[in-house]
Amino acid sequence: MQLRIGTRGSALARWQADWVAAQLRAAAVDVELVHIATQGDQQQGPIGAIGPPGVFTKEIQRALLDGRIDVAVHSLKDLPTDVPTGLCLAATPERASVADVLVAPAWGQWLKLPPGARVATGSLRRRAQLLHARNDLVMCDIRGNVETRLRKLQEGQYDAVILAEAGLRRLKLEGQITEVLPLSLLLPAIGQGALGIEARGDDRGTRQYLESLDHAATHSGVTAERALLAALHGGCLAPIAAWGRIEGERLVLTGRVLSGDGSQRVEATLYDHPAEAESLGRKVAAVLSEAGAGEFIQAARVLPPQ
């Protein structure tokens, strides 16, 4: 049996697809990689202005529905919570680091950045949390893949750039990291550090092969995070952060929502049995909504592109 794996063409996306392919080949599955360009790859400008949720995934999902590929590999944080009819999230392999990192060669650490330092990020989630901690910094939007962002930093366009630790380590660029930022400062995006592997819901043969790649603790954690995001109607570009993890025998979920300028923040942490991941996500979302999260999310939707 041959499985055709669809992926974006960036270096990080290829790493992810290659990793999945290697796991399947180890199980004696014949694999072919199919590179697919997405709307998000083809457009320029601030990430919040290039299109609706799914700009990095819809073309790959369409190819899966059309039967041109059998498996889609995504960065889970790019995958909208509204899964198209006919598809399913077949596996979430063990999660890498959920942390964000600072790359600031001249300064090294977050607290050593001088007032007015230009900090680059394409994420409103990161921008709002960092401004909440330090409103003396200048947040700058940045686009492009990891290599492009690092090049812009090296050219002196910015003083620092914020990136996901998992992506840098997967690309063997961990030597660029000057500080791993604590989760108390910067809670991750929904699904950060995790892969999402999709298949057609009626393709039982493919799903059986993918089941071996699923990691139960990761699956529970990201399911809770995605349920929180769906309940808040936030989309992947809103200033929403969450972290679901197993502690002992409990699934713990922390959610955080901020105003776009970072001046206001609400946070909640609850726990439940791992089997109740979706319910837990909705419960944390309800607590955040009661505290005003909906107003923050709505206001962020009308913010001009940064």
pLDDT at 37: 78
Distance CA 262, CA 191 (A): 22
Q: Copy the structure tokens of residue 56.
A: 């990095």
Q: What tokens were used for 66?
A: 């059309």
Q: What crossing angle do the helices spanning 11-26 and 146-154 adopt, rounded to 10°?
A: 140
pLDDT the model gives residue 118 = 98
Choose the catalytic residue: 78, 100, 203, 272: 78
What pLDDT is recorded for position 298? 86
DSSP per residue, 255-269: EEEE-TTSS-EEEEE
CA distance 299 to 152: 30
Residue 231 tokens read as 């309940």
In whole angstroms, how far apart are CA 85 and each of 63, 89, 197? Answer: 14, 11, 16
Distance CA 273, CA 68 (A): 39
Please identify every stretch of the chain with a pLDDT value under 50, giving residue numbers as ranges.
Answer: 40-53, 305-306
pLDDT number for residue 39: 54
How many whole angstroms separate alpha carbon 254 and alpha carbon 201?
Answer: 30
pLDDT, residue 46, reads: 46
Task: Answer for the pair 8, 31: CB distance below 8 angstroms, yes or no.
Answer: no
What pLDDT is attached to residue 49?
Answer: 43
For residue 284, give the amino acid letter. Answer: V
Domains of the chain listed by start with CATH number: 1-93+193-214 (3.40.190.10), 100-180 (3.40.190.10), 215-306 (3.30.160.40)
Residue 202 catalytic? no
Q: What is the DSSP pairing of strand 138-140 with strand 118-120?
A: parallel
Can you give the pLDDT at residue 300?
A: 78
Provide the pLDDT for residue 303. Answer: 55
